[in-house]
Every structure is written in structure tokens, then in C-alpha cells.
Amino acid sequence: MAVLWLVLLAGVSTFLLGVFVWVIIQHFLTVEIPSTLKHPTKLRFLHCMFLYLLTLGNILEKLRICTVPRFFQFVQGLMLIKKDPNVLVTDTHFGTVPVRLFKPKEVSLKLRRDTYHGLGSFLAHETDSLVLLVGYRKLPEYHHPVLVNDCLNATIYFLKNLEIFGVDSSQVVLCGDSLGGWAVAIVSQVLTSIPTLPRIQTQVLICPILNLINFQLPSYQQSKNVPFLTRDILLMFMCKYLAIDLSWTDAMSTGAIIPLVKWKKYRKWLSYENIPRRFWSQDTQPEVLGPFNEAAYLETKHVWSAEISPILADDRIIAQLPKTFLLTYENDVLRDDALLYKKRLEDQGIPVSWYHVEDGFHGCINLFDSQLFSFPCSMKAANALVSFIKDM
């Protein structure tokens, strides 16, 4: 019996090692590390680990043992949470939505701002704010619009109970990073139709997803293979969330889902022509829509709604949005989503503050306190966010 266990252990170890070697080979064959990124070796190591976990998750999913999102949730659950002695953390519920509250332990004589964000503890301590982190329901069990509805319901609950939390109604901030930025953009638009609630003072969008239609923008061309969010990984996860079969990702990336009549209507908001020329490279190609695929369009046509691509919201809604802070990274496929939205907001007279991290990459802000695996761009992004909130 012991021999069988040893054989099994050796087999599993060999398999895991083989997968890791394959991942390293794939990384060096496909991944591009821009020259502007500092500490490339560190970034390569982290991305190899990410690809390794993603590959294991895909293998488990194909074996019908565990889905990719469930596997990542399991791995995330194994990670230790850093505790800040200066911040009081409380898990509770707003109705049925689980939330986590971060509150500075030192008592402040003035009413606090509010913002909810993945950097909750850091923001709470550095900005003397009450931070609300929404525990929205996730894949694999839940798909669109569950995430947005959970964030919206939690926000409405909070806005109706600001006095209970000692929050100044004129200093409420909605903040989101990546997918969270997508949720914040949509929630902010929905709140414009609920005038009875206190008005959001600012929306903070950190490399948000705002467009699921045009994947040929300059940033999607320049950074399509840059860690950690490649174009293929973005398409895979968003298709899973939107219940779009992964067989349509090629049609989406080439623009084959875009009918000419819709492109004529929306190119004023979606075209690369709205991106400042300094963000074009010599290799940037204009949008060349693939041969229209009606079947692909019918399977993906819901991406044409503002509830999924918030950049498509009507001018009358955009004109009612709060002032906005945009944080972007140069080496990020989502950079141009934010730049397109910046123009839309400014065209409607919305005040926009913008901070661009020249050596940044998607997700780098989450590494600001990772010590060995932190990057200079991580602290730049985190400090820019703190400075904006403190100066409001």
C-alpha cells in the first residue's frame, strides 16, 4: 500500500512539474514585457505563477472536477490576510449582500468620507475614511447582472443609512478597480435615475472595463500579451461572466460581431480616433472589422447595452454623472477604455481628474504592500489614489 502511495505521489509531482515547465515555455513564447516596466524578472515570475494556477484550473475544469473561478477562490482562501492594527474590520450584511467595513480606530471629530475598494485597510487608515467592500456573488454560480445588482443594492442601502455610519452625505465616493471599476461605472449611471438618494460626490475608476465591443483599440494591440491581463484572458473571463460561449472570442476580438449600422452609430464613442495620438505607436493599426458574423452577433448582442458597455450610455445620463477620477496604466489593455470614457465625460462637462502611471501594468496597485513583489508603479498608483481622496 505504501508503494502505491509513493507511486501516486511521484506521478502527481511529475505531472505538476511538467505543467510548470510547459507554462514557463508558453510564457516566454507568448508574453511581452515592455521596456518601460521595471523589475521584469519579478514580473515574469509572478506571471508564470498566475499562468500556472490558470492552467491547473483549466485542467480541473476540463476534468469536471472544479471550475476555474472556483479553483482561484480556493487558492485565494489559502492566502493570509494582513491585519492593520490601526483599522477596525467588521463583516456584516446590507440586506442579503455581504460587506466588509474598514474603519480607522482613531476617533475623528468630523464626519468621514466613504469609499469601497480592494485596498480597504490602506485607504481607511491613510484617508481617515470609512471603507465599504462589497462581497458580490461570483462565478461560477452567478452571472451577469448579479455582480452589478449586488453592488447597486449595497450602495443604495448604504446611502439610505449614512447617518448610522457617521458619513458625510456630501463626501461619498464610489471606487472600483478593473471589474470593480466596471461595476462602479454602471452603478453610478443607474443612480442618476434615483434622485431621492444622496448624490455621489465622486466616482473613482481604476483601469475599468467600459467597452466589450472594440478590442482593436491601440492598448488592445500594444498590450495584448502583457501580464497580468492579456486580451485573451480578459475575453475568457468576461465571456464566462456574461454566459457567452468561448467559441465566439475570436469573432469578438476581430470585430466580426459589429454590424456596420451599429458601428456608424457608435464609432464616435468607440473608435481609436478618440485616443490621443501620443498613445498610438508605429505599429498601431486602425480598426479593421472582420467579415460580419451574424451568428456571433446574435450570441453576443447584449454587449451593446449600457448595462454591459457603460461607455454607450446616452449623453443625458453621462451629463448627470459625478466628477470622476481616472487611474490608468500605460501597459494595460484597458488603458484606452478609460481614455474613451474620459472624452465622453469631458464632452458633457463632467470634471475629470486623471493620473497615468507610465510604468504601470494591470493590477499593479494590488501589489503595493507585497514587499518582495511590490513595484515602484504599485506605490505610485496607491499614493495617487490616497492623495486624490484626501484633497477632495
> Is there a contact between 208 and 185 (Cβ–Cβ < 8 Å)?
yes
Burial class (CB within 10 angstroms; exposed 0-12, middle 13-18, buried 19+) of 137: middle
Catalytic residues: 178, 332, 362
Count of CB atoms situated within 10 Å of the CB of 113: 22
For residue 40, give the H/E element and its range: helix 40-62
Can you name the residues that pair with 327 across neighbouring β-strands? 206, 355
DSSP 255-317: TTT--HHHHHHHHHHHSGGGS-GGG--TT-----PPSP-HHHHHHHGGGGSTTTSGGG--HHH
Given the DSSP bridges, would you call strands 87-94 and 112-115 parallel, antiparallel or unpaired? unpaired
* Cα 197 to Cα 220: distance, rounded to the nearest angstrom: 37
Nearest CA-CA partner of 203 in 58, 42, 317: 317
Phi, psi dihedral angles at 352 (to 5 degrees): -125, 125
